[in-house]
Amino acid sequence: MELLQTNYLQGSIEVPADKSIAHRSIMFGALAEGKTKIRNFLRAQDCLSTLQAFKELGVPIYDDGKTITVTGVGVEGLTPSKQRIHVGNSGTTMRLLLGILAGTSFETMLVGDVSLNNRPMQRVMSPLKQMGAIVSGKNDNEFPPMKIKGNVKLSPIEYYMPVASAQVKSAILFAALHAKGWTKIIEKEPSRNHTEEMITQFGGKIQTDGKVIWLYGPQSLKGQEVIIPGDISSAAFFLVAGATVANSEIVLKNVGINPTRTGIIDVMKQMGANLEITDKDLINQSASLTIKSSCLQAVTIKGAMIPRLIDELPLIALLATQAQGTTIIKDAQELKVKETNRIDATAYELQKMGADIQATQDGLIIQGKTALHGAKVSSHGDHRIGMMLQIAALISRESVDLENPEAIAISYPNFFKDIKQIVKRK
């Protein structure tokens, strides 16, 4: 499809609900006692895969179009699915569900789409096996479909995280809720903490001290009301667009500003972006963000910053093409095992549009400022790569054709509609 072009951008957007919290709201609701009401749920393919998975595990879930009501059954109330559970493209669903199913008394088979079935699961399998679950992939390797046989007598573990991964950490924590004794997790770098926060929100107890997390199990949870803020990963596309397209101003309302997720804001400010935060809601950790066209400078992004913006790195690479100087992104090996190898895909597609960008073993090197031109590009079946290329098309002001645009619906079904809303012609 031919991507949208513009002279400048102006308007107000309310971005979709936070995908990470949406997944977890269903999971915690299913494991809690009583009813959980979820408002502003993200009805995108990935999150609907999580919702459907728990229906297949016997959890009553009702959606009236505005509020989703989950009647919790606890891990002991989950029932075997009559068929393989298909989780589509959602790595979050598969990895976190493995942690939850580790404490059941039955066997479950989880399968993904072609992309997910090529993503490694060993990093989740290893700690869950240590806790007593039996987990195996296709042909006894680390790739889905995944077969897991739960163990109602899981053992607690002390686990040193080999990579900074909120998904792996969350899988262990879900299993730890049903293991007798102290589970201790030592993170390599702090990763997004939605699971820890929601354990507390649902009445559980968890202790954190820097990179160390302790949880004593087993624990029971209580149903809650969850209001999901806007996803900063979705807002990031508009932040980059507003900063890089001349004569632009965009207001983004109700955006989640959990500190473990706001690396994109910190980096953009460091680069000199004209970005303002207002209307802060400290209870729901949300705010309004106003972004205006900016003069940007190159930066180096590495270490502890990477987990706080891992999903936004392809966008930051695009942003760097419009900044003066050499931007270096490193310590980002995790990008290689996303929906596609995002390091290589980002470099390959932006090079087509004239960017001076090189892939490295653990990141990217980008020379700016460069003028982007039209090209025929591909999402590689990856929603974030596809959306990043639409923002690149706005910057280039030349015709850009995108292959596989349908991948974008995985996390942001109304993305093109929202872009069209702020596109302006002189």
Catalytic residues: 311
- The answer to the question of whether 192 is labelled as a binding residue is no
Residue 145: count of CB within 10 angstroms of its CB:
17
The answer to whether 74 is a known ligand-binding residue is no
Q: Which residues pair with 403 in a beta bridge?
A: 378
The per-residue DSSP string of 272-288 comes to T-EEEEEEEETTTTEEE
Tracing tokens 């706005």 back to the chain, one arrives at 394
To the question of whether residue 43 is assigned a binding role by annotation, the answer is: no
Cα first-last separation, the chain: 24
Question: What does the block give as tokens for 77?
Answer: 């109330």
Which residues are within 8 A (CB) of 97 and not within 5 positions of it... i.e. 6 or more apart? 27, 50, 53, 85, 87, 110
CA distance linking residue 34 with residue 384, whole number of Å: 36
Q: Does residue 91 have a known ligand-binding role?
A: yes
* Neighbour order of strands in the sheet with 423-424: 274-281, 286-292, 249-256, 8-14, 423-424
425 is in an annotated binding site: no
- Residue at 170: amino acid letter: S
* CB 16, CB 383: distance < 8 Å: no
Instruction: Say if CB 343 and CB 336 are below 8 A apart.
Output: yes
C-alpha–C-alpha distance, residues 82 and 30, integer Å: 18
- Consult the annotation and say whether 384 binds a ligand: yes
Residue 2 has what DSSP assignment?
A: B
308 among annotated binding-site residues: no
Other C-beta atoms closer than 10 Å to the C-beta of 344 total 14
- Residue ranges of the binding site for 3-phosphoshikimate: 19-20, 24, 165, 167, 311, 338
- Residue ranges of the binding site: 19-20, 24, 91, 119, 165, 167, 311, 338, 342, 384
- Residue ranges of the binding site for phosphoenolpyruvate: 19, 91, 119, 167, 342, 384
